[in-house]
Amino acid sequence: MGLFSKDIETMNDLFVHTLKDIYYAENQILKALPDMIEKATDTGLKQGFKSHLEETRNHVSRLEQVFKLHGVEVEGVDCPAIDGILEEADEIAGEVADKQVLDAALIAAAQAVEHYEMTRYGTLIAWAKQLGRNDCASLLEQNLKEEKAADTKLTTLAERGINAKAA
Ligand code: ZN
Ligand code: FE
Ligand code: FE
């Protein structure tokens, strides 16, 4: 189902479509993180990925709660955007031989993922509120808060050592 398919007529349809998009994305991220944990050398980075894997499991279950609150079937819809970001991450990681440079590359890839999630959650929260679903918005806000924190943590790891070791 493309974004401009006739299946989307109302604001509510658009909200549900985008909810399915981020649900698919979170599940793809769940599959990608173990590989990133394995590839990371820096112990702080490895630990950061591990704790974000746990958080991502909670993101999936919060999204499932949003589907239920909104009375729609829990389902994903292909998101070529997240597939592309994860594909690129995998490709670049495969090309970097030096362990320290690889850590810097993994951070860059992970931050692209976090920013994708942040844009989706920001939109979904605004739309949920517009549709009178503050209950859904508050669950989505919890996910957004953790994505932002993960992004900030990655910046700190990069700037307080990993970039310098890579250079
Ligand atoms: Zn997430
Ligand atoms: Fe998408
Ligand atoms: Fe995330």
3-class SS letters over the chain: CCCCCCCCCCHHHHHHHHHHHHHHHHHHHHHHHHHHHHHCCCHHHHHHHHHHHHHHHHHHHHHHHHHHHHCCCCCCCCCHHHHHHHHHHHHHHHHCCCHHHHHHHHHHHHHHHHHHHHHHHHHHHHHHHHCCCHHHHHHHHHHHHHHHHHHHHHHHHHHHHHHHHHC
Ligand 2 ion: Cβ-proximal residues, 5 Å cutoff: 21, 79, 81
59 C-alpha vs ligand 1 centroid, how far in Å? 5
pTM for the model stands at 0.93
11-39 helix and 43-70 helix, angle to the nearest 10 degrees: 160
56 C-alpha vs ligand 1 centroid, how far in Å? 5
Per-residue model confidence (pLDDT) at position 52:
98
24 C-alpha vs ligand 2 centroid, how far in Å? 9
Per-residue model confidence (pLDDT) at position 5:
59
Please name the residues in contact with 114: beta carbons below 8 A apart, sequence gap of 6 or more: 147, 148, 150, 151, 154
Per-residue model confidence (pLDDT) at position 7:
80
Residue with tokens 């690129």: 88
Per-residue model confidence (pLDDT) at position 3:
57
44 C-alpha vs ligand 2 centroid, how far in Å? 30
**What residue ranges of the chain have pLDDT lower than 50?**
none
147 C-alpha vs ligand 1 centroid, how far in Å? 6
Per-residue model confidence (pLDDT) at position 55:
98
Per-residue model confidence (pLDDT) at position 2:
56
